[in-house]
Amino acid sequence: MRTERSRRAKLALYGLLCVLAVPFVFPTWWMVTSSLKPANEIFAFPPTLWPADATLHAYGRVFDFAPFGVQYFNSMYIALVVTVGTLAVSSMAGYAFARIKFPGHNLLFLVVLVGLLIPSEVTIVPLFQMFNRFGMVDTHWPLLLVPIFGAPSVLATLIMRQFFIALPAEIEEAGRMDGLGRFGLYWRMALPLSRPALGAVAIFSFLHSWNLYLEPVVFLSTPEKFTLPQALTQFTDAYGGPMWDVQLSAATMTALPVLIVFIVAQRQFVEGLAHTGLKG
Amino acid sequence: MRHPRLLLAAALAAPLVLAACGGGSDDGPVTLRMTTWSANEDHLAMLNEIADAYIADHPDVEAIEFDPLPFDGYTSTLTTQIAGDNAPDLAWILENAAPDFVTSGALVPLSETLSGTDGYEYDDLVPAATELWREGDELYAYPFSTSPFAMFANDDLLAEAGQPTAAELIESGEWNWDRVVEAGAAVHAQTGADGIVIRDFDYTGWDNLSTLWTGWGASAWSADGTECGFDDPEMTEALTFMHDAVFEQEAMPGPGTTADFFAGEAAFTVTQISRAGLLAEAPFAWDLVPLPAGPSGEYAVIGQGGLGVLTVAPHPEEAADFLAYMTNPENSVKLAQFFPPPRASQLTAEVLGQANPLLSAEQLQAVVIDRIDSGVVKPSHTGQAQLDQAVRAALDPLWTPGADVEAVLADLCAAIDPLLAR
Amino acid sequence: MTEADTETAPGREASRPARPSWWTARRRDNLAGFLFAGPQLAGTLVFVLLPLGLMFWYSFHEWNVLAGGFRFTGAENYERLVQDPALPGVLGATAAFSVGLVALNLSLALVLAILLDQKLRGTILFRTIFFSPVAVTLVAWTIVWRFLLQDDGGINGLLSVVGAEGPNWLRGETTAMAAVIVVQVLKNVGLNMVLFLAALQGVPKELYEASTIDGAGAWTRFRRITMPMISPTILLTSIITVVGSLQVFAQIDVLTKGGPGTSTTVLVYYLYQNAFQFHDFGYGATLSVLLFAIVLVLTVIQWQMRRKWVVHED
């Protein structure tokens, strides 16, 4: 009786999960399959779930049309540099704010937190002028420096600080006994223990950089320097008419690799995220 | 213990101060930069060819860079560059941004440079084409592209629906909007394809509707730009006609429906002739004809692109000199491969035909040459971006089945009157 | 909670003889603190505070970008802000979007987390599915949804299969706002879900066992035990979600461009229009100041509210 009820409950639960999963899976499915359809089938109504006449034609045209390979490389290397840079800057700052009682550390931390509250749209004009003064417009510097040192890295610092605050004091005591200085404590004791938090910061910063849209649109004007989100909106003919199939193929190529990497490594990602100080 | 903070502040401030002081100009050969909205390889190859020839003769110019910006948001991107002290020397300017650029002092006056250039034949420029780009007699930008709107027709779809072709309708004197909508509705009813697509309108780019309402003698605002024209009877009639065509006869696709004429999904489309290139591999029979007549008779609408030199550019003098070279009669013929020129002597089927092998001499004569003089330019106004946004938002309620056209248009005028008055 | 421990001076450095007397272990540690936090502090100064200051400065000017004019106009922009006829609508849309997004995001995240917290096979698969949009490029995700939400797009196609006729989503004022909210929630709900899941799994099981013995039902257990235990997570996620909801730009730009009418023109989009489309950077700066003030006030309110409902803040 009881097992029968729990079996039903289980089935109901699975059913609910499956229904809920549809809007999460369908867009990606549709994007991938539509990118294989010829342009006129994309708008077939009702839509076909699988292309009647699959073709990779549009994928080739992506590369004809834009320096897509270079743009892919740009996005990739910028995201990687931003990730590594953010890990360094935010773990050090997070460590300092959590474990070193230097004068004004609480006040300074509050000041840093202001960055969390500023939409990038607010500061884009002055930033543009500042970078222009240094001749850095239409270079990748703004897309590297601002995420690593500016407002976007504040969330990372917050995550790291919350994590380091929770580290038991005894661990550092032991390190001190071994004669470690501040840097030693940070590098040898704190960092190795903070892998989950570092993992979360890495995902956040990678995705943030990878998704950046307004900044590249404002800062970059040479197609060879474009990043992917910016490139994605440019698949139009010379008069602004959209080229749907090519655009979808490009979108698939930007989304799928990251998605696959994520699915393969998702356990570390999600668990890293789950074990951060963000849980309070 | 305050030292570290002070040091930090000093270290941070130093480069800012240095940068603020630096930035003087050097006297060596200069590099010019020109923004365009075309990333088309053939366009860029032609521009580079002209530039290379110029550089060979002008040691003071080291290089000329062409910088294609995305068409979508072109004016915004250009303005952002100007705001960031990163203005190009020369820029293509969209017709709807013309009043803003011409009246604000953003552009260098060109009349003297152009008329003073040997062999330029300044008087050859068609006044109707340069009107938008002048303030009084002073020319601020060169209309390098002056392209009338026309109608493409898919003869296969028309035949399938048992309708006469566009050419036959012209022949029989029935080439008017009423008949075209009738044909479009028949195509939609019988083939499932769409009837008429006003390209790039897509229920947001409302200025493209001037290709329709001009046939009713309507205009968005008075010639001096002070009075709203949307609540005039002509406009009300034109937009009621359009509303019925969409929602009653279903001759035009409704909002949120995508139909691409060039992929064979519609019987007619209104657009510029340069799009003929998209038909190179079209698997259907097509024709290019002038816009159908409206209640007020035959008419033409033209779209333009201007080329100007920015006042805040790093090298305005060199840029103006290059502009004069680039648009002289000889180079104008090269430009004419892609962009109908504003020069009377070059508005011939022969010159235009070189770039449009898909179009016959008769088509070019009827659509371009005969209409360029009488063409009404698409609507534009100072503060265009804001007006554009306001009109789009106020027109949105019109695109529902039961809309009260008159009321919507009255509201529209109320919304844009303060903007027009500025 | 454990910060105080770092203060104890380590014995080793103190015994070194050749140091000047002011170079104490304490000062050494202070220097280390500044050096560690240095890059972040410098970045905040240069990339956050300086541009923010410039923005305030601009907001007192009329800036004619095309003609290169930059003129001090005092509070003129602020007077215009107060009188701007479009602003009430914009703020209304902003509030509707933010409230809708935060409510839907947090409640859906919590529901998903609770479902995945059950002892079931295959929860990892579902967790991956719900989290996967987070890994899809934002612009790609939004472009795909623009296709799907068209009148003849995939959503209405699916509906027509089951015999229903869907509305023209992006052309109706209410449906467009709902669509923008849902698309954004689906994109990011996975992040909050994972954080909630971690919090749920951190609730000590003994608490539940004790209450089961007391005869408390599932809902009572949830309200009395689960909610209080995960309230710090709810606070943090809600702050991040609220702030994020006020920064939505690419989604609106790709999906609706602020329409139909001005129904989805939220403050950030209005700001962008004024600064980058109407070339009115002075007024754009004024709107930025308003946006910043709103974010600041909301965050302070949320932070104050934590005393009321966040139970174990230590």
Residues of A in contact with B83 (CB under 8 A): 125, 128-129
pLDDT band with cut points at 50, 70 and 90 for residue A241: low
Question: Which 42-61 residues of chain A touch chain B by CB within 8 A?
Answer: 43
Q: Look at the alpha carbons of B303, B307, B310, B314 in this order and tell me if their dihedral is positive or negative.
A: positive
For residue A50, give Cα distances in angstroms to A21, B193, C175.
19, 22, 28
Residues of B in contact with A218 (CB under 8 A): 80
Query: What confidence score (pLDDT) does residue C12 get?
Result: 45
The nearest alpha carbon in chain A to B81 belongs to A218
The answer to whether residue A149 neighbours chain B at the CB level (below 8 Å) is no
Query: What confidence score (pLDDT) does residue C258 get?
Result: 85
Residues for chain B: how many in total?
422
In the predicted structure, residue A93 carries a pLDDT above the cut 50:
yes
Range C256-266 average pLDDT: 87
Q: Which chains share 3+ C-beta pairs under 8 angstroms with C?
A: A, B
pLDDT digits (tens, 9 = 90+) for A47-66: 677 777 777 887 887 887 77
Query: What confidence score (pLDDT) does residue A280 get?
Result: 41
Query: What confidence score (pLDDT) does residue B15 get?
Result: 38
Query: What confidence score (pLDDT) does residue B246 get?
Result: 94
Query: What confidence score (pLDDT) does residue C216 get?
Result: 73
The DSSP element (H or E) to which C69 belongs, if any, is: strand C69-72
How large a percentage of chain C has pLDDT more than 90?
Answer: 25
User: Do residue B1 and residue C27 have CB atoms under 8 angstroms apart?
Assistant: yes
The nearest alpha carbon in chain C to B393 belongs to C261
Query: What confidence score (pLDDT) does residue A270 get?
Result: 66
In the predicted structure, residue C289 carries a pLDDT above the cut 70:
yes
Closest CA to C92 of C262, C272, C240: C262
Neighbouring residues of A200: CB distance < 8 A, sequence distance ≥ 6: A159, A272, A273, A275, A276, A278
pLDDT digits (tens, 9 = 90+) for A123-163: 887 888 788 888 888 889 999 999 999 888 888 898 888 88
Give chain C's mean pLDDT.
83
Query: What confidence score (pLDDT) does residue C256 get?
Result: 87
Report how far residue B379's alpha carbon sits from residue B416's, in angstroms, rounded to the nearest whole number: 14
For tokens 């779930």, the residue is: A49
Range C90-96 average pLDDT: 95
Query: What confidence score (pLDDT) does residue A229 get?
Result: 85
In the predicted structure, residue A182 carries a pLDDT above the cut 60:
yes
Please tell me what DSSP assigns to residue C258: T
**End-to-end CA separation in angstroms for chain B:** 58
Q: Which amino acid is at A260?
A: I
Looking at per-residue pLDDT, the higher value among A256 and B70 belongs to A256
Identify the architecture of domain C81-309 in CATH: Orthogonal Bundle (1.10)
User: Do residue B84 and residue A238 have CB atoms under 8 angstroms apart?
Assistant: no
Domains of chain B: 30-147+303-369 (3.40.190.10), 148-300+378-421 (3.40.190.10)
Q: Which residues of B104-130 are buried (b: 16+ CB within 10 A; e: fewer)?
A: bbbbbbbeebbeebeebeeeebbebbb
In the predicted structure, residue B410 carries a pLDDT above the cut 90:
yes
The answer to whether residue B312 neighbours chain A at the CB level (below 8 Å) is no
The nearest alpha carbon in chain B to C32 belongs to B4
Tell which CATH classification among 2.70.70.10, 1.10.1200.10, 1.10.3720.10, 1.10.10.410 matches the domain A56-279.
Answer: 1.10.3720.10
Q: Read off φ and ψ for residue B259, nearest 5 degrees.
A: -140, 125
pLDDT band with cut points at 50, 70 and 90 for residue B336: confident
The answer to whether residue C125 neighbours chain A at the CB level (below 8 Å) is no
pLDDT band with cut points at 50, 70 and 90 for residue C4: very low
User: Do residue B76 and residue C276 have CB atoms under 8 angstroms apart?
Assistant: yes
The answer to whether residue B67 neighbours chain A at the CB level (below 8 Å) is yes
Report how far residue B37's alpha carbon sits from residue A239's, in angstroms, rounded to the nearest whole number: 8
A38's tokens: 């010829």
Report how far residue B271's alpha carbon sits from residue B372's, in angstroms, rounded to the nearest whole number: 15
Q: Which chains share 3+ C-beta pairs under 8 angstroms with A?
A: B, C
Report how far residue A24's alpha carbon sits from residue A263's, in angstroms, rounded to the nearest whole number: 14
Query: What confidence score (pLDDT) does residue B21 get?
Result: 36
How large a percentage of chain C has pLDDT more than 70?
Answer: 90
pLDDT digits (tens, 9 = 90+) for B234-268: 999 999 999 999 999 999 998 877 788 888 889 99
CB atoms within 10 A of CB A50: 9
Report the residue of C175, C279, C283 to disrupt the B interface, i.e. the one with the largest count of B CBs within 10 Å.
C279
Report the gap between the CA of B265 and the closest CA in chain C (Å): 14
In the predicted structure, residue A258 carries a pLDDT above the cut 70:
yes
CB atoms within 10 A of CB C206: 8
Report how far residue B226's alpha carbon sits from residue B381's, in angstroms, rounded to the nearest whole number: 10
Report how far residue B170's alpha carbon sits from residue B182's, in angstroms, rounded to the nearest whole number: 15
Residues of C in contact with B399 (CB under 8 A): 171
Query: What confidence score (pLDDT) does residue C201 get?
Result: 81
Looking at per-residue pLDDT, the higher value among B175 and A264 belongs to B175
Ranking A142-146, A215-219, B13-17, B182-186 by mean pLDDT, the lowest is B13-17
**End-to-end CA separation in angstroms for chain A:** 41
Neighbouring residues of B322: CB distance < 8 A, sequence distance ≥ 6: B32, B51, B54, B58, B61, B64, B90
**Of the ranges B262-266, B411-415, C154-158, which is most confident?**
B411-415
- Residues A142, A146, A148, A151, Cα dihedral to 10°: -170
DSSP B145-167: EEEEEEEEEEHHHHHHTTPPPHH
Query: What confidence score (pLDDT) does residue B25 get?
Result: 45
Neighbouring residues of B275: CB distance < 8 A, sequence distance ≥ 6: A239, B152, B199, B262
Looking at per-residue pLDDT, the higher value among B283 and A162 belongs to B283
How large a percentage of chain A has pLDDT more than 70?
Answer: 89
The answer to whether residue B249 neighbours chain A at the CB level (below 8 Å) is no
The nearest alpha carbon in chain C to B386 belongs to C278
**Domain coordinates in residue numbering, chain A:** 56-279
Q: What is the CA radius of gyration of chain C?
A: 26
Query: What confidence score (pLDDT) does residue C204 get?
Result: 79
Q: What would the 3-class secondary structure string for A58-93 be? A: HHHHHHHHCCHHHHHHHHHHHHHHHHHHHHHHHHHH
pLDDT band with cut points at 50, 70 and 90 for residue A44: low
Query: What confidence score (pLDDT) does residue B14 get?
Result: 37
Residues of B in contact with A132 (CB under 8 A): 84-86
Q: Read off φ and ψ for residue B57, nearest 5 degrees.
A: -95, -10
Q: Which residues of A199-223 are buried (b: 16+ CB within 10 A; e: fewer)?
A: bbbbbbbbbbbbbbbbbbbbbbbeb
Range B377-399 average pLDDT: 89
Contact assessment for residue A124 and residue A146, using Cβ atoms and an 8 Å cutoff: no
User: Do residue B256 and residue C34 have CB atoms under 8 angstroms apart?
Assistant: no
The answer to whether residue A240 neighbours chain B at the CB level (below 8 Å) is yes
Ranking A186-195, B87-96, B228-237, C101-110 by mean pLDDT, the lowest is A186-195
pLDDT digits (tens, 9 = 90+) for B110-156: 999 999 998 999 999 988 889 899 998 899 999 999 888 999 999 99
Cβ pairs B/C, distance under 8 A: 91
Query: What confidence score (pLDDT) does residue B332 get?
Result: 92
Range C131-138 average pLDDT: 85
Query: What confidence score (pLDDT) does residue B105 get?
Result: 86
In the predicted structure, residue B11 carries a pLDDT above the cut 70:
no
Report how far residue A277's alpha carbon sits from residue A190's, in angstroms, rounded to the nearest whole number: 14
Range A217-224 average pLDDT: 80
pLDDT band with cut points at 50, 70 and 90 for residue A237: low
Question: Which 382-421 residues of chain B touch chain C by CB within 8 A?
Answer: 383, 385-386, 389, 392-394, 396-397, 399-400
User: Do residue A13 and residue C271 have CB atoms under 8 angstroms apart?
Assistant: no
Contact assessment for residue B100 and residue C66, using Cβ atoms and an 8 Å cutoff: yes
DSSP B349-369: HHHHHTT-TTS-HHHHIIIII
The answer to whether residue A103 neighbours chain C at the CB level (below 8 Å) is yes
pLDDT digits (tens, 9 = 90+) for B196-216: 999 888 888 899 999 999 999
Query: What confidence score (pLDDT) does residue B365 get?
Result: 86
In the predicted structure, residue C238 carries a pLDDT above the cut 90:
no
Contact assessment for residue B32 and residue B322, using Cβ atoms and an 8 Å cutoff: yes
Cβ pairs A/C, distance under 8 A: 311
Query: What confidence score (pLDDT) does residue B176 get?
Result: 95
Report how far residue A18's alpha carbon sits from residue B204's, in angstroms, rounded to the nearest whole number: 38
In the predicted structure, residue A240 carries a pLDDT above the cut 60:
no
**Domain coordinates in residue numbering, chain C:** 3-58, 81-309
Residues for chain A: how many in total?
280
